[in-house]
Amino acid sequence: MELEFRVEERAEQPAVSMRTQVPMSELPAFFERAFPAIMGHITAAGQHPAGPPFALYRNQDMDNFDIEAAFPVAEPMAVEGELQAIVVPGGKVCTTILTGPYDGLPQAWEALTNYATSEGLESHTWGYEIYLNDPGSVPPEEIQTQLVLPLV
């Protein structure tokens, strides 16, 4: 796995999300339910996502992830039911892009956090993954996921 790391500034990003706590084994089922529900809400309001979907991991507990599936939006919008209006904070982040199947994500996260530590960068305990393409429309080896580690 060959990864390139970057440190950059990000603007804050409003989004519509669905949040839950699940073990890693239940993440696919959660995403299959959450992303269509969020997209349906955004389009029913006559809007479009402001970028690709992402998952915000509020902890790193593989047995009980505190996670939000989300789509960025141009402006905060009203939500209902299980959906939440959130704002991903802006600031300095360390990023990399994994090209390949999702089962490479744990190693990519480890490499990203090791890089940040080796560079003397202090990170928050949360991070997010931006799903740059649709795994249903590209072969597994072409899936692209951007990992974003917010820095203190």
Domain definitions of the chain by residue range: 6-150
Can you tell me the distance from the alpha carbon of 78 to that of 112, in angstroms, rounded to the nearest whole number? 35
User: Residue 94, class by beta-carbon neighbours within 10 Å (0-12 exposed, 13-18 middle, 19+ buried)?
Assistant: buried
> What percentage of the chain has pLDDT greater than the value 90?
89
Scanning 68-128, the segments in alpha helix (DSSP H) are: 105-118
Q: Report helix, strand or coil for 21.
A: strand
What confidence score (pLDDT) does residue 63 get? 87
Can you tell me the distance from the alpha carbon of 49 to that of 67, in angstroms, rounded to the nearest whole number? 19
Lowest mean pLDDT among 8-12, 122-126, 130-134: 122-126
pLDDT in tens, 72-81: 999 999 999 9
- Which class is 6-150 in CATH? alpha beta
Confidence check: pLDDT of 62 > 90: no
**Looking at residues 122-130, what average pLDDT do you find?**
93
